[in-house]
Amino acid sequence: MKTALVLAFLIVFGCVCCHGSQSSEGWKVDLIGNFNLTQASFSNWSQGGENTLGWQIGFDGAFTYLRGQSEIANKFKLRYGMTKTGDAEARKSIDEISLASIYTYRAGLFVDPYIGLNAVTQISKGYDYAEASKTAISDFMDPVYLMQSAGLGHRCGEIFRSRLGFALKETMTKDFPTYSDDPSTPETEKARVEIGAELAGDLHLELTERILLSSSLLAFSNFKTTREIDVTWDTTLTAKVESYLAVTFNLKMIYDRDVSKKRQIKQGLAVGLTYAFM
């Protein structure tokens, strides 16, 4: 198993009315880490039950540089966790690395030109436990999703940002070409390149002093099949109970017809420690 810390991206679509902007130049750095633990143990318990132990660790970072009319916004996200139930071996409960870097030229208009890069992969090998024996189906950088884009973006203070532009999306694999292979061809492709358009946005809204809503949407449409749009929607609601204790609810939905014809949904509720490093 590989263990790591690294990188993430959030990007969202919505409509929010807000005011304000980042005026100070130079670097603005935010780095938050969290750790969640769940445990249950039974001994001679007449009503039955299985011992369970689960943990998750995560990091969210934002590193923004502003100089004159140029802005470089870098964001990363790391999520990794394991769960062990009874005598079964420990299994992954969450595994994500994502990174986004966006350069924006603040032209002083309603929209600003941008160029961007984002990447998504995972930390360790993933398995399908549907059969009697587990089957490996993914690994670190296998697959890895890359996207380069350029277009116009709109900002509403520090609360909401959106962008629309041309995009180049690559899906790269090594040992698991299921994610990149084109079933209509006799060859097995380990890389797929798609040309299309992206629509993305990022919402960061403080509902109260202790409740934060972060939501992101990234939609990609291949010009060859505009009726099939890849969508990733990631929403997190965080409520701070005490200085270092928070309750977090996350809902993530993915629709990618190249991977599954049905939408994929993952949700999690966690209570644990959170700490702002910067």
| Of 193, 194, 197, 195, nearest in space to 166 by CA | 197
pLDDT per position as a tens digit, 214-258: 999 999 999 987 778 999 999 999 999 888 899 999 999 999 888
Residue 104: predicted pLDDT: 95
Q: What percent of the chain has pLDDT over 90?
A: 63
pLDDT per position as a tens digit, 60-100: 999 999 999 999 999 999 999 999 998 889 999 999 999 99
Distance separating alpha carbons of residues 252 and 173, to the nearest angstrom: 23
The average pLDDT across 187-215 equals 93
- As a three-state string, the secondary structure of 13-25 is CCCCCCCCCCCCC
Residue 47: predicted pLDDT: 86
In this structure, are residues 264 and 255 in contact, taking their beta carbons and an 8 Å threshold?
A: yes
pLDDT per position as a tens digit, 120-167: 999 999 999 887 788 999 999 999 999 999 999 998 888 999 999 999
| Of 203, 234, 232, nearest in space to 218 by CA | 232
Greatest Cα pair distance, the chain, in angstroms, is 69
- Sequence-distant (≥ 6) Cβ neighbours of residue 74 within 8 angstroms: 61, 62, 63, 64, 99, 100, 101, 102
pLDDT for residue 206 is more than 70: yes
Identity of residue 182: D
The average pLDDT across 41-64 equals 90
Name the DSSP class of 228: -
Bridge partner list, 148:
117, 168
Class of domain 26-276: mainly beta
Grade residue 276 by pLDDT with cuts at 50, 70 and 90: confident
Residue 135: predicted pLDDT: 92
pLDDT for residue 17 is more than 80: no
Tokens in use for 237?
């609601």
